[in-house]
Amino acid sequence: MSLQENNQLWQIGIGAALAQAVSTVAELGVPDLIERGSARPVAELAAETGCHEHSLYRCLRFLASRGIFEEQGQRSFALTPLAEALRTDAEGSFRAGARLFGFLFPGVGEFEHCLRTGKSGFTKAFGQPVFEYLAGHPEVAPMFDAAMMAIHGPETAAMLVAYDFSGIGTLADIGGGNGSLLTATLRKYPEMKGLLFDLGHVSGRAKANIKAAGLTGRCDVREGNFFESFPAGADAYLMRHIIHDWTDEQSIQILKNCRAVVPQHGRVLIVGPVVPAGNDPSPAKEEDIAMLIHPGGIERTEEEYRELFDAAGLELTGVTPTTSPVSVIEGRPV
């Protein structure tokens, strides 16, 4: 093995510590303590976060070597664009996303379990599946919601530019979470009505956000479980980052429940990554590993989506790429 290969593998290995360092300084709120355009001594940062001063200095020096913070004179640190993105008040703040990485890290430690069994590392580490855990720990829900916005929020604008929702009278957002995607779509299409469908412990947060957006009169919120049934009455049923959470068997059941209510003229829209062929890096391949570790799901190729649709009585009629990592996979009733 050459020195170059050795160094490259070292960089890959130390990446786990880098991810933890980013998550930890985000959890501690270190970027919030540094004013934009100025620097603060590490002694002050350590005092305000309750950290060991020299250890915090070493962490920030490490992060600065990767473009996160900038060390200036007298052991002081300033924000860089990456560090600023971790501030709570940053536009499109990624702080919650970084915090979520730290929260999920025990599941990553069970990666061998995933490979040997095909099952979730999160479930092994936490003793229950991720969505059951979230339902039983409401204190985690706000962080999880904010993290989903930080990670996936930019996809919404890209989706609305790439895909034409014209002609849809009522759009149902299945597993719609806090309602951010549906409210953005309703704002762009003022003639459209919305229907958000999610579990009971989620729908309350969605109702509040829809009310705050002034869309209560145009958007209905219903509680339920998509493994049991889908709400009737929509022209199109959209699922963003839903199908990828589940096995093929579970995904087919979800799609069959959707097929039972979608009208013959209707559409089924899956918004998510499509795994490309070949050896090139891809966000879809990265997210696929996250799905393996945490919920036990899978990201799929276009052909694998086609097979799921066929098994549920749907026909894959198009894949619309966006400028973000997701595409809109469209299906219609056979």
Angle at CA of residue 203, ends 199 and 204, nearest 5°: 135
Asked if residue 183 lies in contact with residue 217, where contact means CB atoms within 8 angstroms, the answer is no
Q: How far is CA 230 from the centre of its chain?
A: 23
Q: In residues, how long is the chain?
A: 334
At 299 the three-state DSSP class reads coil
φ, ψ at 92 (rounded to 5°): 65, 35
Strand ordering across the sheet containing 267-272: 219-223, 193-198, 170-174, 236-240, 267-272, 327-333, 314-321
Instruction: Report, as residue numbers or ranges, the catalytic residues.
Output: 244
Looking up tokens 């790439």 gives: 162
Look at the block and give the residue holding tokens 């089924």.
268
Are 124 and 113 in contact by the 8 Å Cβ rule? The answer is yes
- In what helix (H) or strand (E) does residue 47 lie, and over which residues does it extend? helix 42-49
- Residues 132 and 297 sit within 8 Å (Cβ to Cβ): no
